[in-house]
Structure 1
């Protein structure tokens, strides 16, 4: 199966129902996308599939063949993603950092779809879980990235 990930083509020999997360991490060594719950609840595994925030832990790899997949490893190559990362650093968002790759991917997807989100838009889109509770800093960083 051929996958387009971060602008490069990758051939993988896996079962069609293998979760994308495991292909990224175990087959391709892209470990920036994290395993959290395995149930699409926490968002640690969020990647962009054709620009949409998607939970990789429950996404069968066969469903994304032919799609453009972006992971945290390439986020700064995207102009919006670069602004998000700069805002994350400026606002010192991470504490433990485990969920942050998924948070950055979700924020990038939001800002690619809505360049000027309201606080309500941010709250509706930024639903990934953060055990450290950095939600205020996350919202501030999204607002900063939107205004950049």
Structure 2
């Protein structure tokens, strides 16, 4: 548990160092990005400030940048199946007004977007997969647009 917390803190610090080092040599159209507002092992802060909780723990966090913008990417491992994990997250998100849009559905993998009406920047991209051959454990890679300062 201590190793995971240390790894998350290290990743957060390294991403902050990388952000500050690009500030002096960056172009004028670079935008400041605020990585995950707070780090928790079993919850993610959504754009509206509410927490999205889940049965599992965050094992990795990355701040990804590409031509479409900056994105927070969380990797979550859960002791429940990928179907149960998706069901619980969708129940929580649907209560907040999100809709589910399936992108890919297979027996061992499920990819879906959770879209909040009228707020395209609040879209969550989720990739659920099985960790073990029996399907008793799941991995979730959850990606969302990073909040800009």
Q: What is the TM-score normalised by the length of structure 2? A: 0.28
Q: Hey, which of these two has a bigger chunk of strand by percent?
A: 2
Q: Hey, which of these two has a bigger chunk of helix by percent?
A: 1
Q: What is the TM-score normalised by the length of structure 1? A: 0.28
Asked which structure has the greater CA Rg, the reply is 2
